[in-house]
Structure 1
């Protein structure tokens, strides 16, 4: 049990997952993202019912739902630390977070208070943030320089869950009926009523009561069931991690807190370039998540309140958006294979801007135009998030803290956009949604172009790392010639007689 044994152990450690194992693990991760879509986008089709449950207005219920983004902010900050420090337990992290997300989803619709509802959504968002960082790190680790396409596939799962959930919720939603008071008022009051504004001439009667606790229960159970796969990977899955990346550092080489948060760590020592990239990516994700959030949450309410659609038709419109959203992420998955990420991100953002302009021109008072233009809107804005991650990983190394920083931008954007639209939707009317879409898409395009400008002259970071690795072995070989016997692996593999897990 000498040097040969340690050499063999060291070689075994270097073996990574096969292509089939990578694909299977990616599919399981896509399932986790589908659960996120189910549990967190259920608030879109149920927004009016949640408002009724809490007996409040759109501004207050929007603030409650925005708790998800605040929680996402917390989860992203906490997740970056946990992922870097507890790298071996990423699968267990995802499993536990899915379990807790499902539990809080079941509790949420039973809350009669906006404050309690806000807290429950904060907790769900926290678990989403941790899952996001752990899952994306696993994808980047598995696929390395080929991660752009799998990253789009990963986020496709969110879209799949999101377009399924309106159909799960729809049978349990309240059905309103609008009664014209002019037809039910006696003649002596007609003179007074006809001088009243239109909103006071109608009242709403619910012919079918809300039972939204059932769809929340269904999506919670699905999340818990999905978590079992990650429990299996943690305790029984072999070769499901890439050992070349998965924390095989010597204990003496563990990074300090200063090194973890230093942009130079992710940018091959170029602190100014790394800082510029991360600041722009932060602002990019602020817009990408915020705009995506308001359209998904408010399109159903807009269709009912402004265009007079009934609940079923508005739910189908919401479903159409999420189907288009999923199609956009699938299309991104395909196009990322053949189109450079620098070009792809610009095409997606520009398409979103054109769609937002067309919505403002044609769909303000036309339900058919809204049905048609919702499709390109969903297709173009969907891949902006995974493209941002793929673009960032192409230029700088995405550590746990690096991913955290991007997600913090997205979380802050989600909170800000939801609070702003909730306030102005009540005070200025439903068309606020379209005005905010224009602002969102213009800023998103601006930051996408700035990212490409600042990275001009910078190539693929993976090729740069490979070139560095080719130089280092040459130096090591000279050192090896000056000694007798094979290299000492004792610093990597524990001595015989101990558990040699890495």
Structure 2
């Protein structure tokens, strides 16, 4: 009898939660879909460069070593764009304007890349896409956190699902237009056979964004260029074009077509119906508070005014530092694994065929996408901190097993799948968890996104140099070290959270005592 009653109560609770989340989404559907589509653009741009880089080398007639410059320019400017993205969020109007400009820039650059005939021009174009991607990353995460607050975990999982979806689709779209042989037809004889298997090997190798010890591959740099890669970029530009149009439609609906508009936008007019009814004066106060004073999203120091900086506990800064370092290591693992798992698989002792090893990166991205999709229903049944703990432990166990079973090609695919599943939801859960601790002021989002971009860039460089000097086996060892360090930092974050919560209670208790004494005095 008790078990039936418990099951019935659980079903009622889940039904209420589902209805409440669905009501939240219905009132914010246009905003949510716009941010999701922006992250789809992010994913398209993130994964398109790797498969097309050899054809772009032909187009610019660059050397194999020189073409890796475009990887660095995009990755570095992605980090810069993530860092400055918070400054474009000083108002709701500027956030949408920046998002519209960034998403349109991606389409414009995709259309422009086919006419880049030299390496510096291509590097500048990819740097611009990196800046646009960084701004999209920060603004979309920040606005969704502000939009849903305590319910943001579910919608952040869906947001990051669209990155994986875009990253899966763009290589599939580009594949029919890639050259099967060396696309620069020169008069001299190359030092290797221009076979499709060789080019496939080099494409997978270049996914690591750095080339080490590949001087024996001599590609032609002068001659007739024969490539159809332009069609891939033009198709991607058209696919991405509805995204800035959707942002402009949202801006028109919110009456913020001019950046940093002084007029109050009509953001979420339907939200007032979700809670208890408010008076007209309360609605005006809420509107002015939400839309005319969002400057706290610009940077961390604005969240604690400079005049009150001494009153801010050290745990406030500790939450930002430890939260950022967790994402530094988790995104660093994602970047280094996608970059160098192929290099590890084709080297001794694994020695997988080039074609089979090339599937590993796709398996990893597919697992991340599936993991984020599965985390959407889990996010409102499991608290973010518990999901984070489970995923962090899962990452360490998977990397440890990969390290032990380093000669098993079967477990390499199995482990890659599980690693993608476990690591998939760490990013969105960490954003939701940290912002929840800090009362959704938006400060943590910019810091965490920037740290994630820094980790992806720096740890790839570190792993590449270690592999070059110590061999391919060090790839898994580096991943294990990063995983342990990330989990240690996460435990530090939980400790700082406990200290911060204790400090907040201690700071609030004197106020409660004063209010209670005043109430007793009024009664007497």
Fold in common (TM above 0.5): yes
Per the normalisation by structure 2, the TM-score is: 0.70
1:88 match: 93
The answer to whether structure 1 residue 164 and structure 2 residue 169 are counterparts is: yes
What stretches of structure 2 of length at least 5 have no aligned partner? Answer: 1-22, 183-191, 195-213, 255-265, 272-282, 517-524
1:393 match: 435
| Separation in 1, partners of 2:241, 2:504 | 37
The structure-2 alpha-carbon separation of the partners of 1:260 and 1:350, relative to structure 1 and needing over 3 Å to count, comes to same
| Separation in 2, partners of 1:122, 1:259 | 28
The structure-2 alpha-carbon separation of the partners of 1:452 and 1:397, relative to structure 1 and needing over 3 Å to count, comes to same
SS at match of 2:51: coil
1:45 match: 51
The structure-2 alpha-carbon separation of the partners of 1:251 and 1:303, relative to structure 1 and needing over 3 Å to count, comes to closer
1:309 match: 353
2:248 match: 231
Q: Which of 67, 71, 92 is residue 65 of structure 1 equivalent to?
A: 71
The answer to whether structure 1 residue 272 and structure 2 residue 314 are counterparts is: yes
Per the normalisation by structure 1, the TM-score is: 0.73
* Alignment check: 8 A CA contact 1:49 1:174 kept: yes
* Bigger mean CA deviation after superposition, 71-80 or 381-390: 71-80
| Separation in 2, partners of 1:164, 1:40 | 11
**Correspondence 1:3-14 to 2 at 5 A:** none
* Alignment check: 8 A CA contact 2:64 2:219 kept: no
The Cα shift of 1:113 comes to 5.3
The answer to whether structure 1 residue 373 and structure 2 residue 415 are counterparts is: yes
What stretches of structure 1 of length at least 5 have no aligned partner? Answer: 1-16, 181-198, 475-502
* Bigger mean CA deviation after superposition, 451-460 or 139-148: 451-460
The structure-2 alpha-carbon separation of the partners of 1:378 and 1:257, relative to structure 1 and needing over 3 Å to count, comes to closer
2:363 match: 320
| Separation in 1, partners of 2:398, 2:234 | 35
The structure-2 alpha-carbon separation of the partners of 1:304 and 1:35, relative to structure 1 and needing over 3 Å to count, comes to farther
What's the CA shift string for 1:309-352, capped at 9, x where partnerless?
Answer: 344x4554332221111111122222221112111112112211
The structure-2 alpha-carbon separation of the partners of 1:143 and 1:252, relative to structure 1 and needing over 3 Å to count, comes to closer
What's the CA shift string for 1:201-252, capped at 9, x where partnerless?
Answer: 99999xx976433333322322222111111000125544768877636979
The Cα shift of 1:273 comes to 1.6
The Cα shift of 1:100 comes to 0.3
2:110 match: 105
Which has the bigger relative contact order, CA under 8 A and spacing at least 6? Answer: 1
* Bigger mean CA deviation after superposition, 407-416 or 296-305: 296-305
The answer to whether structure 1 residue 297 and structure 2 residue 339 are counterparts is: yes
The Cα shift of 1:422 comes to 3.9
SS at match of 2:289: coil
| Separation in 1, partners of 2:52, 2:511 | 53
The Cα shift of 1:66 comes to 3.2
The structure-2 alpha-carbon separation of the partners of 1:18 and 1:381, relative to structure 1 and needing over 3 Å to count, comes to closer
SS at match of 1:236: helix
1:28 match: 34
| Separation in 1, partners of 2:237, 2:407 | 37
The answer to whether structure 1 residue 76 and structure 2 residue 82 are counterparts is: yes
* Alignment check: 8 A CA contact 2:435 2:444 kept: no
The answer to whether structure 1 residue 285 and structure 2 residue 327 are counterparts is: yes
1:121 match: 126
Question: What is the aligned residue count?
Answer: 436
**Correspondence 1:179-194 to 2 at 5 A:** none
The Cα shift of 1:25 comes to 3.0
| Separation in 2, partners of 1:352, 1:424 | 21
